[in-house]
């Protein structure tokens, strides 16, 4: 499809169904989930273990072939924990797996297929030791983790830093840099004179933001009818 053929009311109904599903089936699986969350295709979110907490205004996007998974699995009491701050974006295919502790601070963005783990999940020599030697992970405020990057145990990602697509991070990344590669290394410093615009600013006035998004939907879907959408769904054509 070249565009969204749904009429405005049908898209809004679809979003309401997703919101109801998320509140009924997904929210209770978290120890805490802040207000203002938006989960797209929430039936593709998998939550296992506890404690797992997410702050306010979380955006989680999934697709049928790229589920988002949060997993806490520890052999010792009080081990294993996932804490995600406010205003975070989690894209399709992200996996976060904890046996020790993973903290993701406010305003962070995790692109598609990112994997964050604080354990090897097997011992180096004792292969039946199911966790190895876990070490916590901390991703500081406003960090951006690129597509398919892997954040390994014991790593700290500094504030505002960017991890390039496909990178494997096995050592900590300082603040205000871009790191990339396998293993990841610093390839560029960010300009300290340029201010950052964080996701929190986007949500500064939620009511205004919702009105703007609604107006955009009305404009983009104007003229779409149910019969036209049904035809494009059942009998698609190359011009659709």
Catalytic residues, by residue number, are 122
**Residues in a beta bridge with 178:** 162, 188
Question: What is the Cα 63 distance to its own chain's centre?
Answer: 12
Phi, then psi, of 84 in degrees rounded to 5? -120, 135
Q: How far is CA 114 from CA 81, 86, 87, 166, in A?
A: 18, 19, 18, 9
CB 155 within 8 A of CB 137: yes
- Using CA atoms, how far apart are residues 149 and 113, in angstroms rounded to an integer? 7
- Using CA atoms, how far apart are residues 217 and 166, in angstroms rounded to an integer? 33
- Alpha helices in the chain, H assignment, sequence order: 8-21, 199-202, 206-221, 226-234
Phi, then psi, of 217 in degrees rounded to 5? -60, -45
**Residues in a beta bridge with 117:** 97
- Using CA atoms, how far apart are residues 135 and 129, in angstroms rounded to an integer? 15
Q: Which of 230, 221, 223 is nearest to 8 (CA)?
A: 221
């Amino acid at each position: 499809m070249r565009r969204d053929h749904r009429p405005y009311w049908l898209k809004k109904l679809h979003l309401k169904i997703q919101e109801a599903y998320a509140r009924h089936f997904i929210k209770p699986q978290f120890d805490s989930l802040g207000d203002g969350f938006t989960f797209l295709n929430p039936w593709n979110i998998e939550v296992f273990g506890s404690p797992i907490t997410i702050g306010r205004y979380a955006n989680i996007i999934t697709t049928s072939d790229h589920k988002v998974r949060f997993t806490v699995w520890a052999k010792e009491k009080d081990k294993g924990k996932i804490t995600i701050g406010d205003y975070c974006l989690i894209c399709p295919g992200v996996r976060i797996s904890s046996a020790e502790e993973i903290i993701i601070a406010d305003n962070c963005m995790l692109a598609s297929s990112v994997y964050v783990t604080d354990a090897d999940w097997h011992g180096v020599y004792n292969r039946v030791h199911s966790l190895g030697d876990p070490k916590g992970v901390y991703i500081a405020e406003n960090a951006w983790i690129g597509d398919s990057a892997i954040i390994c145990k014991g790593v700290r990602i500094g504030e505002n830093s960017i991890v390039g697509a496909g990178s494997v991070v096995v050592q900590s990344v300082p603040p205000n840099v871009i790191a990339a590669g396998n293993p990841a290394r610093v390839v560029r410093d960010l300009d300290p004179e340029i201010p950052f615009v964080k996701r929190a600013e986007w949500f500064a006035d939620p009511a205004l933001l919702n009105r703007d998004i609604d107006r955009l939907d009305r404009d983009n879907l104007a003229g779409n009818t149910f019969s036209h959408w049904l035809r494009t769904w059942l009998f698609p054509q190359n011009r659709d």
